[in-house]
Amino acid sequence: MSERPREATQVHSRLLKCALEVDDSRAYWAHTDGSARVEVRRAFDEYWFGARSLSWIEVLVANMRARFDAFPSVLETLHGWPSMGPDTRWAICHWHLQLPVK
């Protein structure tokens, strides 16, 4: 990423398709540390996001990649933080939702 992360100030389509998604974000962190690209089919087959359709998991994974994969050190930290409380998860999801999406 060439520019510093900053708060997004315009509505973008990712936000309209996928809101905060705290539980789904946590599921994403639990399964990846950023060292390898998450495969949609694997997430679907292993029920990372519960009993969701493949098409919805495609949307979720695309959003999670945009929100978190751009920050590998953050994703690695989140992966190693299994006992995070609900309020902390909510705050982290909120911050990452506010970052600009390219």
In this structure, is residue 50 part of a structural domain? yes
Q: State how many domains the chain has.
A: 1
64 burial level (CB within 10 Å; 0-12, 13-18, 19+): buried
**pTM higher than 0.95 for the full model?**
no
In this structure, is residue 4 part of a structural domain? no
Residue 12 has pLDDT above 60, yes or no: no
- Residue 53's domain comprises 13-98
What digits encode the pLDDT tens for the residues 31-59?
Answer: 988 888 999 999 999 999 999 999 999 98
CA 89 from centroid of its chain's CA atoms: 11
